[in-house]
Amino acid sequence: MSISIDDYADAADAIIAEIGSVIVGQADLVRDVATCLLAEGHLLLEGVPGLGKTELLKVLGRVTGLEFSRIQFTPDLMPADIVGTDVLYQDDAGNRSFRYEAGPIFAGLVLADEVNRASPKTQAAMLEAMQERSVTVGGVTRDLPRPFLVMATQNPLEMEGTYPLPEAQLDRFMFKTVVPYPSADELEEIVLRTTGVGRADVSEVVDTARLAELVSFTRSVPVPLHVGRYAVDLVHRSQPATTAVDAVKDYVRFGASPRGAQALILGAKAVALMQRRPSVSVEDIRAVAPSALRHRLVLGYEAAADGVAADDIVDALLAATEAPGEGEAGA
Amino acid sequence: MSSAVPTTVVAVVDAARRRLRARYGAALVSFGAPLVAGICVALVALTWVTPWVWPQTAAAAVVVISVVGWLWRTLRQPISRLGAASVLDRRCRTHDALGAGLVEVERADAFGAAIRDRAVAAAEATSVPAILPVRLDVRRLLVALALALIAVAGLVVPNRHDEARAAAAAEQRTIAAATEELEDLVEELGDEPLAEETADQLEALLAELDGLDDIDTALEELRTAQSQLDLATPRSHLSQRAATSGLERSLDAQPLPGAASGAAADQLDQLSRSMEDLTAEETAALADRLDALAATQAAGSPAVSAAMAAAADAVRSGDLGAAASALAEASAAHRSQSDQVERGDTAARAADATRRAAEDLAEHGEGGQGQGQGQGEGQGQGQGAGQGRGGGQPSGEVAGSTGGTGAGQGGQGQSGQTGDNPGARGEEPEVAPPLEGEGFGDPLDLAGAAGGEPGAVVGEGDTRSGPGVITRSQAETLAEFADRAAEALDSLQLSPTDQQLVARYFEHLNEEAQR
C-alpha cells in the first residue's frame, strides 16, 4: 500500500477544502461527510429543506470521481426503481428473454434524496445494498461497485408526508448528521454565491482507486485496547437494562446496537488519520459519538414528553462514562 | 525495529505512577486526618465523663489502625502503567499518545513506528511534577492538628476518673497474674488426648477472664468453673483410681501365669490368647489369682471384678474359651476404667488449679482497703467453702458449730478505711500428708513388762507428729492418702468387705471435699 499517514491527511484536507469551496461554513458537517467517505460508511443528513444537503453530496460526487447516482424518494417509489428489475427483452430475431436492468443503486455514490418520503417497503429495498454492498434480484445476487456509499438526506419527521425510517435501516447508516441552519454571515455568503451568474468550479481531488486505498488504510489504524474498551463501554451504557446512566434509564427504550460500536471505532480511525495521528484516541471516539449514536437510540414517550432529544442522551452518556485516566484514583 | 517500549516513555509513566500514588496518599490524609482526630477527641472526652478504660485504648487503636490503614491503602492502591499514561494523556491532551505507545509496542508496521515516535515526543514534552503536583489540603490538616492537640491534652491532663481506671487496671493485672497457672495448665493439657474436654473448659474460662477488671466477677467465674470441674470428677473417682492403680501394681509385681511383665490390660490380653498353653498347676494358680484380684477390684472397678471372677470360674470349670473371653472383657474394662480415671485426674487437677486461682484472687481482695459488711454461716465437719474479699470494719458475723471452719461471704471492700474481716473467706481444713517411705522414728525405751529385762525395747513409736509437721490442704492430700490406702489394700490380706469399707471411706472424703 503506497500510502502514508500524511498522504491520507493531505487527501482528506484536499477533499474538505474542495467541498468548502462550494459549501459555506458547516465545518462539522463537512468533517462528518469526509469521515464517512474515508471509512466507507453511509451517511444520513437531516435538516429542513434548503440547507444545501443535496448540493453538498453532489459536490462530494464531483470531488471524489465516484460514479454518482441520485434517487429521489417519493411516496410512489417502488423497490424495483432502486435495485432494478428483470425486463422482457426481444432481440432482432424475435427471441424473447428476461434481462436485468440495473437500478440507480449501482453507483459508487448514491444520493438518496429525501429518503424518508418513500414508504418503509421501498426503504427496505436499500437494506441489503447498504449492509452487504450487493443486490439480489430474481434470485441473482450482484455486487455493487466499491467504494459504495449511500448518502441520504431526510427532512425532520415532523414535516408533512414523511415516514420514519425503519430502525434496521437507520442502524445501517454509520453517521447521522444534523444539518444546522447557517449563521447570518454564512447565509449572506450563500446568498451572494448562489445568486450570481458564475458557478463554483469543483475539481476531482481523488479518483476511485485512490479513494479505495484511503478506505482500506482507514481500517488498518490500530486501536489501543483501552480506547476500544471505552467505545464499547459507551455503547454498553446506552442499554437501558444494564446502564447506570439515569437519562438512559428514564428515556431510552432500546440502546445502540453493536453496529454503533463499529461506527464509533471506524469513524474515530478516520478522524485520527485526518489529524495525522497513527492511532485512535478517546477524544476521537468522543468526537464521533453524537453522529454515530444519535440515530441508534430509540427513545420512549417519556423523552418526547420531557422534550429530551437523542443528542441529550448522548451528552449524558459521554458525561457519565469515565474515560481512561480521568479518574486518577484508579489509574 | 525494536518492540520494547521506549525508555523515555517508561521513565515518564513510572514517574507518573509514583506521583499518582503520592497524590492518592495526600488525598487520603487530607480527608482522613480530621476524621481520625475528631474520633480521638470524642473518645478522650469519654474518659473525662466516665471511668471507662477502653476509650483510651480505643483512641490509641484508632490512631494506629488509621496510620497502618493509610499506609497499606496508599501502597496497595493499584496504579497501572497504562492508567498512569492515560492520566498524562488526558491532562496533556496528547490524544492517547503515551497509552498507545505502551500497548501498541508490538506492531512492526509503519503505524507502530509512528506510535513509538509520537509516544517519545509526548514523553519528552511532559513534565510530570508540573502536571501532577502533590498537594495537601492545608486547612483540613490544620483542623486535624488542632483536634489532635486537644486529644493529647485531654489524655495528659489528670481528671477525676483516673484513679478509678488505675484501680481497674490493677485488678485486671491481679486477675491476669492469678490465672497464669491456668494458662500453663491449658498448654500442658493440650498434649494429652484424654484432656480435651477439660482443656476446652479452661480455655472458655480464660476467655471469660481475659480483660476482666473486676475481681468479684472473676471470682464468680472461677468458682463457677471450679464447680463444673468438680462435677466432672466422679464421686467414686478415688476408689476407681485405687482399684486401677492397685491392679497395675499388683500385676507389675507379680505377673499373671503365662503372661509377661507389662501393663495389666496387656497381660490380660496376652493371657486370654495363651490359655491353652497353661499347665494344670498354672491353671489352678491362675484361678486363685484371678479371684484375689477380682476381690480387690470389687469396690472401685466392678466391671473388671465381675469379668475376672467370671474368668476364674471358667478356668476352674475348664472352659478355657469362656475364660479367654472373660479375660479379654476384663482387659477392655480395665482400659476403659483407666481412661476414665485419667480424665477424672485431669478434671481434678483443673479444679485444683482453678481453686488456687480463686484463692489467690481472694487473698488480693483481702489486702485491700475498705469498709466491709460480712455475712457468713459456718458449717460443721471442718470443711467449708466460701468467698469473700476486702478488709475493713466487719459488721458481719460467722455462726458455726464447734470444730467447724466458718464459711461465708464477706462484703466487698471500699476504699477509704482499713480493717479486716476474719469471717470473710472460707477455709479448708489442713491435714498432714501421708508418710513418705518407712517414716518411723527412733526407738523408745519403755518400762519392760513383767519378766522382761529392764531397758528392753518393746516397741517403736512414730515421733513425727506434733509441732513442726508440715500440713497441706485436705483436697491436695486426699489423693495421696487414697493411693496409700490402695497400696495397703494390695499388700494386706484384707477381706473384700474390709477393702470395700476402706474404699467407701475415701469416696466419702472425696464427696465431702467436692462439696
pLDDT 10s digits, A9-59: 999 999 998 888 888 878 888 899 899 999 999 999 888 777 777 788 888
Beta bridge partners of A68: A109
Of B376 and B50, which is predicted with more confidence?
A: B50
Length of chain B: 515
Of A5, A225, A325, the CB nearest to B87: A325
Residue B224 inside a domain? The answer is: no
How far from chain centre, in Å, is Cα A271? 14
B11 and B132 assigned to the same domain: yes
> Which range in A116-120, A170-174, B417-421 is most confidently predicted, on average pLDDT?
A170-174
Contact B96/A at CB under 8 A: yes
Residue with the three cell numbers 511534577: B129
The Cβ of residue A289 has, within 10 Å, a number of other Cβ atoms equal to 24
Residue B212 inside a domain? The answer is: no
Indicate if the pLDDT at residue B432 is higher than 70: no
Contact B21/A at CB under 8 A: no
Q: Chain B contacts of A330, Cβ < 8 Å?
A: 78, 83
pTM flag (> 0.80): no
B123 and B244 assigned to the same domain: no
Q: Suggest the residue from B86, B93, B107 to mutate for an interface test with chain A (most A CBs closer than 10 A).
A: B86
Indicate if the pLDDT at residue B379 is higher than 80: no
Indicate if the pLDDT at residue B448 is higher than 90: no
The secondary element (H helix, E strand) that includes residue A50 is: none
Give me the DSSP letters along A166-186: PHHHHHHEEEEEEPPPPPHHH
Region of B455 (left: φ > 0; alpha: ψ -120 to 50; beta: rest) is left
DSSP B254: S
Indicate if the pLDDT at residue B408 is higher than 70: no
Indicate if the pLDDT at residue A273 is higher than 60: yes
Query: Residue B444: what are its φ and ψ, rounded to 5°?
Result: -115, 140
Question: Based on the number of CB atoms within 10 Å of its own CB, is B70 exposed (0-12), middle (13-18) or buried (19 or more)?
Answer: middle
**Residues A105, A82: Cα–Cα separation, whole Å:** 6
Contact A281/B at CB under 8 A: yes
Q: Does B79 contact A331 at a Cβ distance shorter than 8 Å?
A: yes
**Residues B195, B198: Cα–Cα separation, whole Å:** 5
* Nearest-Cα residue of chain A relative to residue B73: A329
Of B114, B136, B160, which one is at a domain's C-terminal end? B160
Of B204 and B440, which is predicted with more confidence?
A: B204
Q: Does A222 contact B79 at a Cβ distance shorter than 8 Å?
A: no
Indicate if the pLDDT at residue B447 is higher than 60: no
Contact A1/B at CB under 8 A: no
Give the confidence band of B396 by pLDDT, cuts at 50, 70, 90.
very low
Residue with the three cell numbers 484501680: B167
> Which range in B14-23, B203-212, B254-263 is most confidently predicted, on average pLDDT?
B14-23
Contact B134/A at CB under 8 A: no
Q: Does B86 contact A330 at a Cβ distance shorter than 8 Å?
A: no
Contact A284/B at CB under 8 A: yes
Contact B275/A at CB under 8 A: no
How far from chain centre, in Å, is Cα A28? 13
* Nearest-Cα residue of chain B relative to residue A272: B95
Residue B192 inside a domain? The answer is: no
Contact A311/B at CB under 8 A: no
Q: Suggest the residue from B93, B96, B104, B126 to mutate for an interface test with chain A (most A CBs closer than 10 A).
A: B96
The per-residue pLDDT for range B460-513, each reduced to its tens digit, is 444 444 444 566 666 667 777 777 776 666 655 566 666 677 777 777 777 776
For residue B159, the model assigns a pLDDT of: 83
Q: Does A281 contact B87 at a Cβ distance shorter than 8 Å?
A: no
Give the confidence band of B451 by pLDDT, cuts at 50, 70, 90.
very low
Q: B92-121 burial string, b = 16+ CB within 10 Å, else e? A: bebbbbbbbbbbbbebeeebbebbbebbbe
- Full residue range of the structural domain in which residue B122 is found: 7-160
Contact A5/B at CB under 8 A: yes
B35 and B150 assigned to the same domain: yes
Residue B66 inside a domain? The answer is: yes
Q: Does B86 contact A280 at a Cβ distance shorter than 8 Å?
A: no
**Residues B181, B459: Cα–Cα separation, whole Å:** 47
Q: Does B114 contact A331 at a Cβ distance shorter than 8 Å?
A: no
Q: Does B118 contact A277 at a Cβ distance shorter than 8 Å?
A: yes
Contact A37/B at CB under 8 A: no
The secondary element (H helix, E strand) that includes residue B46 is: helix B7-49
Question: What are the helix (H) ranges across chain A?
Answer: 5-20, 27-39, 53-64, 79-83, 120-124, 126-132, 167-172, 184-194, 208-219, 225-237, 246-251, 258-274, 282-293, 301-306, 310-320
Q: Give the helix, strand, coil percentages of chain B, each rounded to 5.
A: 65, 5, 30
Q: How much is the average pLDDT of A147-164? A: 80
Residue B74 inside a domain? The answer is: yes
For residue A182, the model assigns a pLDDT of: 82
**Residues B180, B188: Cα–Cα separation, whole Å:** 12
Q: Does A5 contact B114 at a Cβ distance shorter than 8 Å?
A: yes
B129 and B261 assigned to the same domain: no
Of B17, B78, B103, the CB nearest to A224: B103
Contact A330/B at CB under 8 A: yes
* CA-based nearest residue to A268, from A229, A215, A320, A231: A231
State chain B's mean pLDDT as an integer: 76
* Nearest-Cα residue of chain B relative to residue A329: B24
Contact B89/A at CB under 8 A: yes
For residue A24, the model assigns a pLDDT of: 80
- In this predicted complex, what is the ipTM? 0.82
Indicate if the pLDDT at residue B421 is higher than 60: no
Of B108 and B135, which is predicted with more confidence?
A: B135
Contact A331/B at CB under 8 A: yes
Give me the residues of B, 385-404, that contact A with CB < 8 A. Answer: none
Residue B38 inside a domain? The answer is: yes
Q: Does B86 contact A325 at a Cβ distance shorter than 8 Å?
A: yes
Of B420 and B280, which is predicted with more confidence?
A: B280
Q: Does A331 contact B99 at a Cβ distance shorter than 8 Å?
A: no
State chain A's mean pLDDT as an integer: 87
| Longest CA span, chain A | 83
- From residue B289, alpha-carbon distances to B240, B304, B312 in Å are 20, 14, 8
The helix/strand/coil state of A88 is strand
Instruction: Give the CA dihedral A194, A200, A206, A211, nearest 10 degrees.
Output: 10
Contact B111/A at CB under 8 A: yes
For residue A224, the model assigns a pLDDT of: 92
* CA-based nearest residue to A215, from A267, A177, A152: A267
Give me the residues of B, 430-469, that contact A with CB < 8 A. Answer: none
For residue B64, the model assigns a pLDDT of: 95
Residues 6+ apart with CB under 8 A from B247: B264, B293, B296, B297, B301, B304, B334
Q: Does A282 contact B96 at a Cβ distance shorter than 8 Å?
A: yes
Structural domains in chain B (count): 2
**Residues A135, B388: Cα–Cα separation, whole Å:** 106
Indicate if the pLDDT at residue A293 is higher than 90: yes
Give me the residues of A, 59-98, that contact B with CB < 8 A. Answer: none
For residue B29, the model assigns a pLDDT of: 92
Beta bridge partners of A134: A143
Q: How much is the average pLDDT of A63-86? A: 88
Indicate if the pLDDT at residue B419 is higher than 60: no
Q: How much is the average pLDDT of A85-89? A: 88
Of B421 and B303, which is predicted with more confidence?
A: B303
Q: Suggest the residue from A217, A219, A226, A275 to mutate for an interface test with chain B (most B CBs closer than 10 A).
A: A226
Indicate if the pLDDT at residue B431 is higher than 70: no
Contact B232/A at CB under 8 A: no
Q: Does A323 contact B77 at a Cβ distance shorter than 8 Å?
A: no
Q: Distance, in angstroms, between B12 CA and closest chain A CA?
A: 15
Contact B83/A at CB under 8 A: yes
Give me the domains of chain A, ranges plus CATH numbers. 1-75+105-195+205-220 (3.40.50.300), 221-324 (1.10.8.80)
Of B24, B85, B89, the CB nearest to A329: B24
* CA-based nearest residue to A321, from A247, A224, A241: A247
Q: Chain A contacts of B80, Cβ < 8 Å?
A: 331
**Residues A130, A148: Cα–Cα separation, whole Å:** 8
Region of A89 (left: φ > 0; alpha: ψ -120 to 50; beta: rest) is beta
For residue A217, the model assigns a pLDDT of: 93
**Which strand ranges, in their side-by-side order, compose the sheet holding A68-72?**
A68-72, A109-113, A149-154, A42-46, A173-178
The per-residue pLDDT for range A101-119, each reduced to its tens digit, is 888 999 888 988 888 888 8
Of B119, B136, B160, which one is at a domain's C-terminal end? B160
**Residues B324, B329: Cα–Cα separation, whole Å:** 9
B335 and B478 assigned to the same domain: yes
* Nearest-Cα residue of chain A relative to residue B104: A224
Residue B122 inside a domain? The answer is: yes
Residue B371 inside a domain? The answer is: no
Q: How much is the average pLDDT of B283-298? A: 85
Give the confidence band of B68 by pLDDT, cuts at 50, 70, 90.
very high
Q: How much is the average pLDDT of A225-232? A: 93
Give me the DSSP letters along B172-241: HHHHHHHTHHHHHHHHHHTT-GGGHHHHHHHHHHHHHHTT---HHHHHHHHHHHHHHHHHHS-TTHHHHH
In single-letter form, the type of residue at position B467 comes to P
Of B160 and B370, which is predicted with more confidence?
A: B160
For residue A181, the model assigns a pLDDT of: 85
Residues 6+ apart with CB under 8 A from A32: A43, A175, A177, A291
Q: Does B86 contact A331 at a Cβ distance shorter than 8 Å?
A: yes
Of B132, B160, B188, which one is at a domain's C-terminal end? B160
Sign of the alpha-carbon dihedral angle for B234, B240, B244, B246:
positive
Give me the residues of A, 240-279, that contact B with CB < 8 A. Answer: 272, 275, 277-279
